[in-house]
Amino acid sequence: MSMTRKMAGMNETSWLFAALGLAMVSLGMFHVIAGTLQHHKQIHTLRIRVNMLRLERVSRLRKLQTEEDGGFEIIDDEPSAEPRQAA
């Protein structure tokens, strides 16, 4: 028996279920890919927004520092390489 005869031996219902299963798997894959891309886009947007807010905060603090009665000093978020001396 040749391969075409075996394939032709599948009835129409079997072909319909096979095509339906393939379509469902394909749609599921596209859904996962779209969700992943959307997630990465949202993360990128959030990182940009956080950076903008951080820069705005530093700008406001510097403005307050330059005013006459600011009375405080801006300390960098990053620790310095020099160890502090004990009082």
Q: Establish if 54 belongs to a structural domain.
A: yes
Tell me the CB-side half-sphere exposure of residue 30, using CA atoms within 13 A.
6
How far is Cα 17 from Cα 15, in angstroms, rounded to an integer? Answer: 5
Global pTM reads 0.53
Tokens of 33: 């890919």
Residues spanned by the domain of 39: 32-66
Closest CA to 72 of 85, 82, 61: 61
Q: Establish if 46 belongs to a structural domain.
A: yes
- Residue pLDDT, tens place only, 16-52: 999 999 999 999 999 999 999 999 999 999 999 999 9
Q: Establish if 51 belongs to a structural domain.
A: yes
Residues found in the chain: 87
- Residue pLDDT, tens place only, 56-83: 999 988 888 777 555 566 666 665 555 5
Task: Please list the alpha-helical segments (H only) found in 1-87.
Answer: 3-8, 12-66
